[in-house]
Structure 1
Amino acid sequence: MKLLALDTATEACSAALYIDGEIQQQYQMAPREHTKLILLQVKTLLDAAGLSIQQLDALAFGRGPGSFTGVRIATSAVQGMAFGADLPVLPVSTLASMAQLMLEQEAATHVISAIDARMGGIYTATYVSDGRLMRLRGKEVICAPDDIDLPGYLSWTGAGTGWQGHGEALQRRLGERVARICPDVWPQAATIVRLAADDFINGLAVSAEQAQPVYLRDDVAKKSSK
């Protein structure tokens, strides 16, 4: 299986190539440089592997939530490549990407991912490990830190930029249920492509036209559809 994933939903910009379980990634913190950087990352990966877009089985991307502009960059890039090469697409949550990263790097099995949504809010979701991959519990939401809640009374790990600007409010709200916090965690194409591989096996790929961003913020979604 050969998959290519892109993510530009936050300040981090990354692309990853998955070949039969092996993953190579290009990753860079590059605010406002995603448009010129992401295609260069893709070319670097494909050239190193001696592959063309047409030789891939599918494309994946971080479908949000995150920066409106950033999410659109990856969406548009993947749609363009998918239309050109007639490839299916696998949209993957950026919140799930961060949770998977915590499982792989920190052995965290219960993660609450949070991305700063500006205007006093956060994009957030909770994930639990099945032993190999992180699985969503409940649903992704945008909310104020004071409105967040956690299922059960397990020991959770907080991950993502939502814990940078709103860490104090979140800790006050959730108390001892959050055992540790890792605020400097960003979505990565490497974990997006790992999750995408599982989705591909399970027949969850969609057409390029069906590959749409997820904003969670209703006003942004309505404006983008006009």
Structure 2
Amino acid sequence: MKLLALDASTEALSVAVVDCVRGYEVEHFEIAPQAHARRLLPLAAELLERAELTLADLDGFAFARGPGAFTGLRIAAGLIQGLAAGVDRPVVPVSTLAALAARCLHNDEHVNRVRVVQDARMGEIYTADYVRGDGATPRPLGDERVIRPEMLEIETANEYTRAGNGWGVVATERSLAPEALTPSEHWPHALDIARLAVPALRHGEGLPASQALPVYVRDDVARKPGGSR
């Protein structure tokens, strides 16, 4: 199974190529606000060349479908749609929050539960809880939500490993020092997105390129903070 994955859901951007047959994985990750549209395609070409693969060699594609930055999600979805359609390959959209949870589970075998909190701007956060499933695969314990920071339960935080760039927002809202809620991982990575996409591709669960769309979670991306839902 060979695939290319992209993430542009935050200030970070990353590209990964995975070849399960050779046991080969390579990723480029950087913090590069405003550079997603300019950097992603050249990086994808560079990593494919390093892997000695072409687009036609791939079995499929994956991308972080959100929730996250609206512009970044659209950029990643558009690029993946174009690449996949060009070689008629399926696409697996992967939750940004699940990718963060997977990173924690993969990096530490003792982690069993992860609470992901991402900055949603507009005075809100995206959040979801996960438990370890098979291997390092995160199993959701509920729906992805967009809420105000003061609504997040932190009393049970010791039961969870924290992940995501939104914990600082929660700390500020609770008048806590940022280090009081330091996450284990701040950013999603394309490599985790690729790893999560492999089983879906193997089971024929990839989507046609035209159906690979972002998931915003927030119903009205233009509404004002504190507005009605």
Instruction: Decide: shared fold, TM above 0.5.
Output: yes
Alignment of 1:97-108 (within 5 A): 97-107=99-109, 108=111
Alignment of 1:106-185 (within 5 A): 106-107=108-109, 108-132=111-135, 133-149=137-153, 155-169=159-173, 181-182=182-183, 185=186
Matched AA of 1:124: T
- The Cα of 1:181 is off from its aligned counterpart by 3.6
* Counterpart-to-counterpart distance in 1, 2:95 and 2:186: 14
* Counterpart-to-counterpart distance in 2, 1:221 and 1:94: 21
* Counterpart-to-counterpart distance in 2, 1:207 and 1:147: 37
Correspondence for 2:19? 19
The gaps in structure 1 that reach 5 residues or longer are 173-178
| Two-structure CA RMSD over aligned residues (Å) | 2.3
When residues 181 and 31 of structure 1 are mapped into structure 2, their CA distance, relative to the original with a 3 A threshold, is same
Matched AA of 1:48: R
* Counterpart-to-counterpart distance in 2, 1:171 and 1:139: 27
Look up the SS of the partner of 2:217 in the other structure.
Answer: coil
Give deviations 1:62-115, integer Å, cap 9, x for gaps: 001110001111000000001111010000011011111111223422001111
User: How many correspondences in the alignment?
Assistant: 215
1:194 is the counterpart of 2:195: yes
Alignment of 1:207-226 (within 5 A): 207-220=208-221
- Contact residue 162 and residue 183 of structure 1 kept, 8 A: no
When residues 159 and 54 of structure 1 are mapped into structure 2, their CA distance, relative to the original with a 3 A threshold, is same
Q: Give the structure-1-normalised TM-score.
A: 0.88
Matched AA of 1:85: V
- The Cα of 1:184 is off from its aligned counterpart by 5.2
Identity of paired residues, percent? 42
> Which runs of 4 or more aligned residues in structure 1 lie more than 3 Å from their structure 2 counterparts after TM superposition?
168-172
Q: Give the structure-2-normalised TM-score.
A: 0.87
* Counterpart-to-counterpart distance in 2, 1:10 and 1:195: 19
The gaps in structure 2 that reach 5 residues or longer are 224-229
